[in-house]
Amino acid sequence: MIVVIQRVSESAVTIEGVVKASIGHGLMILIGIEEADDDGDIVWLTNKILNLRIFPDENGVMNKSLLDIKGEILLISQFTLQASTKKGNRPSYIKAARPDIAIPLYEQMIQTLEEGLGKAIGTGEFGADMKVSLVNDGPVTILIDSKNRV
């Protein structure tokens, strides 16, 4: 799994002109699921996301986690994160998981994040044409690939 994590002061996802979910202070996360992903990737990424110290403390130092600040999460599926651009100019999405694999993993990621956070998170809709808006706070943007743990 690949995630792009953005620290935000606000974020929202709109589908067909209707706001499906919005959050205030927290993390907007784009997630790309590949065929080789499993429960282990979800557990590892959830722990990393919830405990990543990227929020400022009282001295302005990035020393607090999402749990520390009681922040929110907006999780958006984005298969294009699995794009291979090695050959030519048209990206290949061969590594992206098919819906029958990706949807259950996406739903499991939602559930695991909610359990770890202790509250519901905002989500997009798998496979929908979504419009995502955000105010990146910092800006702080971090890319994590669960296959590169060391």
Cα 105-111-112 angle, rounded to 5 deg: 85
User: For residue range 63-86, what is the model confidence (pLDDT) as tens digits?
Assistant: 999 999 999 999 999 999 999 999
How many helices (H) does the chain have, and how many strands (E)?
3, 8
pTM of the model: 0.95
78 is catalytic: yes
| Mean predicted confidence (pLDDT) in 40-65 | 97
72-77/26-32 β-pairing: parallel
**6, 78, 82, 112: the active-site residue:** 78
Residue 122 lies in a domain: yes
Residue 150 lies in a domain: no
The pLDDT, as a whole number, for residue 45 is 98
Query: How confident is residue 149, by pLDDT bands cut at 50, 70 and 90?
Result: confident
Name the phi and psi angles at 23, rounded to 5: -135, 165
**6, 55, 79, 123: the active-site residue:** 79
User: For residue range 73-128, what is the model confidence (pLDDT) as tens digits?
Assistant: 999 999 999 999 999 999 999 999 999 999 999 999 999 999 999 999 999 999 99
Q: In total, how many domains does the chain have?
A: 1
Q: Which of 37, 141, 13, 9 is nearest to 98 (CA)?
A: 37
* CATH code (residue 58): 3.50.80.10
pLDDT at 150 over 80: no
Residues 16, 147: Cα–Cα separation, whole Å: 34
Q: Which domain holds residue 138?
A: 2-145
Average pLDDT of the chain to the nearest whole number:
96
